[in-house]
């Protein structure tokens, strides 16, 4: 594996406390004062120098908005998962800036700019200084600062991403994240992730257990899409007392579309390249009792040759592309060329002629779709990258947020799946074939 490897509700504005400075004297309030129920005046007696004269009532000194920053200044064990909240009572926030040696901090204002909250969790064991400026309707401004430090957690988790930097992957490839510790606050982890894609993509996150999180698009990725991943895991509380301690980034590419479909009944495989049927090869799949399992799989790895060992055989097999963890491959089977196109004689693999196997081997990258049809044997979940066994509704149900992800060149957002446009993708080129069987 490669790679190293959210948002709280705004706090309600506090009540405005206006401090009014009273002065001595008596007289009639000005028009401004008369309309201010908080205005105050005091009546005094004239001194020797001003006997018989009443002093004019002075105007109160205007005060700025009351600004509150959380965490408070001086805190040394602030919860990074709670982020930063700034509120302004009696005014609007004109500026909130955060300085830190750690990751840059961004945030959003409420609709009326009376509050601001950081977008992602803060880094653990890090110092921060927040400066907030708010203005009242009168034009009076208030500047408030807070300097604090986040806690040092006793337990941490790390995250790895399968995809390698600037590596090419097939149009079916899921993003695969692995966590070093069990995650219980799955929703917080999902909210901390941003995807940026060079072409529009709709997908969803799916938890396969509590230590693996996958992203799969609703349909196959558009060919030649650049994908950038950012996991703002530093400061996320993945479970009570368990915090992430690093931000994970990665960029990889989706290459051309190479899609294979096998019929175990007609003994042929079709190879579609960038939407066009390019090859239609004779094959031999698993013989009765060793049937190649049905399902929409993905290529995992390839090797030339692979040593294969089984009942009655131990040999090096050229041009081998794996699509199940249990050992099913597309591969060169020079010994069964006469049966290819007519009979199933393999131990579960898809046998090809040497020339066809070499051609496919040179095309294949991890994540190319392979769909097996017509077999009496169902596929098995997690025997390979089986994310395409899932329907779209099943995929969304596996997200802690139960929301879809809409990604594009400017980042990603979570949306209600019911608001998405109808899916017009068709199998086998745009989406996996329906009816995958599972044990």
State the catalytic residue, choosing from 117, 232, 246, 331: 331
**Nearest CA to 297 among 395, 213, 434, 172?**
172
Which regions of 20-110 does DSSP assign to beta strands (E)?
66-70, 85-89, 92-99, 107-109
- Whether 170 and 430 have beta carbons less than 8 Å apart is answered as no
267 is catalytic: no
Alpha helices in 236-365 (DSSP H): 354-363
For the stretch 262-267, contacts whose Cβ atoms lie closer than 8 Å and that sit 24 or more positions apart, written own/partner, are: 262/292, 262/350, 262/370, 262/371, 262/372, 262/373, 263/373, 263/374, 264/291, 264/292, 264/344, 264/372, 264/373, 264/374, 264/375, 265/373, 265/374, 266/374, 267/340, 267/341, 267/342, 267/343, 267/344
State the catalytic residue, choosing from 232, 246, 267, 349: 349
Q: What tokens appear for 65 in the block?
A: 């908005």
Q: What is the DSSP string of 359-374?
A: HHHHH--TT-EEEEES
Torsion, Cα 419 369 228 120, to 10 degrees, reads 50
Which regions of 218-348 does DSSP assign to beta strands (E)?
226-231, 237-239, 242-244, 248-254, 258-263, 268-273, 276-282, 295-298, 301-303, 306-310, 313-317, 320-322, 329-332
Q: What is the rounded distance in angstroms from the CA atom of residue 4 to the CA atom of residue 158?
A: 8
350-352 and 329-332: which strand pairing? parallel
410 is catalytic: no
User: Looking at the annotation, which residues are catalytic?
Assistant: 331, 349
């Amino acid at each position: 594996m490669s790679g190293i490897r959210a948002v709280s509700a705004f706090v309600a504005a506090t009540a405005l406390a206006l401090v009014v400075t009273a002065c001595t004297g008596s007289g009639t309030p000005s028009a401004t004062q008369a309309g201010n129920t908080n205005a105050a005046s005091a009546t005094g007696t004239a001194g020797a120098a001003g006997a018989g004269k009443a002093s004019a009532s002075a105007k109160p000194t205007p005060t700025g908005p009351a600004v509150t920053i959380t965490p408070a200044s001086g805190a040394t064990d602030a919860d990074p998962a709670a982020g930063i909240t700034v509120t302004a009572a009696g005014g609007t926030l004109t500026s909130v800036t955060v300085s830190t040696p750690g990751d840059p901090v961004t945030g959003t204002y409420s609709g009326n700019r009376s509050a601001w909250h950081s977008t992602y969790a803060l880094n653990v064991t890090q110092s921060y200084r927040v400066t907030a400026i708010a203005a009242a309707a009168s034009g009076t401004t208030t500047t408030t600062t807070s300097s604090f430090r986040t806690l040092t957690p006793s337990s941490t988790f790390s995250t790895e991403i399968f995809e390698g930097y600037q590596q090419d992957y097939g149009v079916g490839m899921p993003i695969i994240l692995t966590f070093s510790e069990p995650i219980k606050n799955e929703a917080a982890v999902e909210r901390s992730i941003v995807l940026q894609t060079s072409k529009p993509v709709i997908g969803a996150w799916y938890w396969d257990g509590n230590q693996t999180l996958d992203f799969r698009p609703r349909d196959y990725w558009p060919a030649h899409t650049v994908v950038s991943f950012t996991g703002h895991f530093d400061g996320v509380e993945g479970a009570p007392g368990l915090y992430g301690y690093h931000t994970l980034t990665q960029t990889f590419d989706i290459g051309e579309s190479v899609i294979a479909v096998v019929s175990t009944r007609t003994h042929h495989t079709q190879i579609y390249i960038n939407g066009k049927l390019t090859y239609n090869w004779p094959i031999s799949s698993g013989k009765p009792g060793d049937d190649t399992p049905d399902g929409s799989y993905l290529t995992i790895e390839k090797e030339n040759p692979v040593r294969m060992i089984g009942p009655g055989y131990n040999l090096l097999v050229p041009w081998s592309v794996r699509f199940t963890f249990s050992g099913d491959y597309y591969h060169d089977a020079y010994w069964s060329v006469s049966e290819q196109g007519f009979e199933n004689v393999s131990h579960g693999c898809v046998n090809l002629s040497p020339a066809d196997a070499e051609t496919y081997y040179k095309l294949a990258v991890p994540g190319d779709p392979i769909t097996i049809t017509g077999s009496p044997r169902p596929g098995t979940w997690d025997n390979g990258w089986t994310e395409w066994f899932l329907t779209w509704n099943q995929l969304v149900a596996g997200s802690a947020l139960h929301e879809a992800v809409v990604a594009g060149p400017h980042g990603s957002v979570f949306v209600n799946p019911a608001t998405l446009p109808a899916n017009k993708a068709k199998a086998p080129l745009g989406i996996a074939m329906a009816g995958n069987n599972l044990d």
